Structure 1
C-alpha cells in the first residue's frame, strides 16, 4: 500500500469553513447518527469538504475533527487511508481517474494513460500549466463490461477510445464538461449488449412459420416400438417377465427361493416355538 501524506504547507490554506448550505447539510447529517456515535459522520463530512474545495486540506481535517469531537490524528487516519480523498490540489475543471485494472488494461487503458500524459501532465497528481486538469491511475471502478473507462469527479465515461478521451478532456478544459454525456461513449445503453439485446425477443411471423415443418394432410404418423438397446441381458428369474411379481403361487415362490438360495417360509401360518 502506498504512503499517503498531506500536501506541503506551501499550498495549504490557513483556514477552512463549510459554506452556509454545506454547514446546514453537515449538521443534519451528524443528527442521523445515534447519540454518542456522531463520529461515524466523519467520512461523509470529509467527502463534502472535498466536493467544496476540490481536495481535503489540513484545515478541513482539523475543522471536521472539532465538529465531531475527535482527535486530529483520528480524522487524519481516515483521510489518508481511503484513496477516494484527494490530499493534494487537483484540476479545477477535471481530475481524470483512469481505471488500470485487468479488464480495462486488456481493452486499452494504457492508451488512455498515454493520452493523459500527452494532454495533461507526464506524471499523475500533477497539475497542467493552467491548474485546470490533473489525472491519476486507479483500481477497478465497477464498469468492467464497458472497459476501458475513466471517472471525472462523480461521472464515469466508458467504452473509450484514445480519440474520444481527447475530445472529452478538451471539452472539460474549455469549461464545457457539463455538455459531455457520461456513460458509454458508443451505441449501447449502460451495460447492455453492443447493438442492443439479442435474446427474449419476438420473432417475425415469417421466421416462425419457416422454422416449423408442417405435416402433410395425408401423412400418417408412424409407430416406432421402443428400443431394447439399454435393456440388460440376464437369465435371472428376478428379471424374468414371465413370472408374476410378487409370485402368488406357492410353487412358483418356492422355485424362485430355491433358485436364489433362500429358505421358503410361509409367514401366513404361526411359527412353532422350538
Structure 2
C-alpha cells in the first residue's frame, strides 16, 4: 500500500506528464528513476489515475527490457556480453563482479540492496570493449582488476556518504 508521500511523488510524475496516457513510457521511466524499479503498487496507482487497465500498464512494463519489476541495488552494474565485448573477455569481468559481491547468475542483487549485476546484449560502445556501466556511466577497457577496484571505490563512496 502506498503512503501519502509516495502518492504525492507519483502525482508529481503524472502532473509533469500532464496525465497523458501516451506518455506511459516516460511516466514509467520517471517512476523507475525514483524507485530503481517499478513497484506493483505504483503501476496500479498510475493505471487508475490514467484511467487505463493494469493489464495495459503491465504489458508496457514487461515488453521493454529496460523496465524492471524487481528491486535493484543502488549501483546497477551492466556488463556487456555483445560480440565485441565477449571476444575481448567480458565473462571473466562479469565473474569478478559477481565474486567480489557474492552474487551469481541467479542472485543478481546484494542483500543490502547496494549492488545489482546484470549482463546486457550490447551497450553500444563496441569500440571501447570490453565495457560495463554503473548507473549508466561507461567504464571502457574493463579488466577483472579494474572491476575489483571499481567495486572497492563504490563501496568507499557509500561509506563516506553515511
Tell me the equivalent position of 2:2.
15
Tell me the equivalent position of 1:145.
127
3-state SS in 2 of match to 1:56 = coil
Tell me the equivalent position of 1:24.
12
**Which whole-Å CA distance do the structure 2 matches of 1:165 and 1:18 have between them?**
38
**Which whole-Å CA distance do the structure 1 matches of 2:61 and 2:24 have between them?**
9
Tell me the equivalent position of 1:202.
none
Query: Is the Cα contact below 8 Å between 1:100 and 1:109 reproduced in 2?
Result: yes
Tell me the equivalent position of 2:47.
65
- Counting only pairs closer than 5 Å after superposition, residues 168-247 of structure 1 correspond to structure 2 as 168-176=150-158
Give 5+ residue unaligned stretches, structure 2. none
3-state SS in 1 of match to 2:17 = helix
Tell me the equivalent position of 1:107.
88
Count of aligned pairs between the two proteins:
156
Change (3 A) 1:176 1:68: same
Give 5+ residue unaligned stretches, structure 1. 1-13, 32-37, 178-274
1:132 aligned onto 2:132: no
3-state SS in 1 of match to 2:138 = strand
- Counting only pairs closer than 5 Å after superposition, residues 20-99 of structure 1 correspond to structure 2 as 20=9, 23-30=11-18, 38-92=20-74, 94-99=75-80
Higher RCO (Cα < 8 Å, 6 or more apart): 2
3-state SS in 2 of match to 1:30 = coil
Name the structure where helix makes up a greater proportion of residues. Answer: 2
User: What TM-score does the superposition give when structure 1 sets the normalisation length?
Assistant: 0.52
Query: Is the Cα contact below 8 Å between 2:108 and 2:117 reproduced in 1?
Result: yes
Query: Is the Cα contact below 8 Å between 1:125 and 1:136 reproduced in 2?
Result: no
CA deviation profile, 1:230-265 (whole Å, cap 9, x unmatched): xxxxxxxxxxxxxxxxxxxxxxxxxxxxxxxxxxxx
* Offset of residue 173 of structure 1: 2.3
Which segment drifts farther, 167-176 or 47-56?
A: 167-176
* Offset of residue 125 of structure 1: 5.0
Q: Please tell me the root mean square deviation across aligned C-alpha atoms, in Å.
A: 2.2
* Offset of residue 18 of structure 1: 5.2
**Which whole-Å CA distance do the structure 2 matches of 1:136 and 1:18 have between them?**
30
- Mark the structure with the bigger radius of gyration: 1
Query: Is the Cα contact below 8 Å between 1:124 and 1:135 reproduced in 2?
Result: no
* Offset of residue 176 of structure 1: 5.0
